[in-house]
Structure 1
Amino acid sequence: RPAQWCQIHHVTYWNDGGATDLNNLALLCTECHRDIHNTDWQLAMGEDGHPHSIPPPETDPERRPIPSYHRRRKHSA
Structure 2
Amino acid sequence: MCGRPAGWCQVHHIEYWTDGGPTDLTNSALVCGRCHRSIHHGDWEVVLGDDGHPQAIPPAAVDPHRQPIPSYHRRRQRTA
TM-score, normalization: structure 2?
Answer: 0.85
1:2 shift after superposition: 1.4
For 1:43, the equivalent position in structure 2 comes to: 46
Q: In the aligned structure 2, how far is the partner of 1:46 from the partner of 1:13?
A: 17
For 1:58, the equivalent position in structure 2 comes to: 61
Match for residue 9 of structure 2 among 6, 10, 14: 6
Bigger helix share = 2
Pair 1:16-2:19 in alignment = yes
In the alignment, structure 1 segments of 5+ residues that lack a partner are none
Q: How many residues align?
A: 75
Aligned AA for 1:60? D
In the alignment, structure 2 segments of 5+ residues that lack a partner are none
Q: Secondary structure at the match of 1:62?
A: coil
Identity of aligned residues (%): 61
TM-score, normalization: structure 1?
Answer: 0.88
Runs of 4+ with >3 A deviation: none
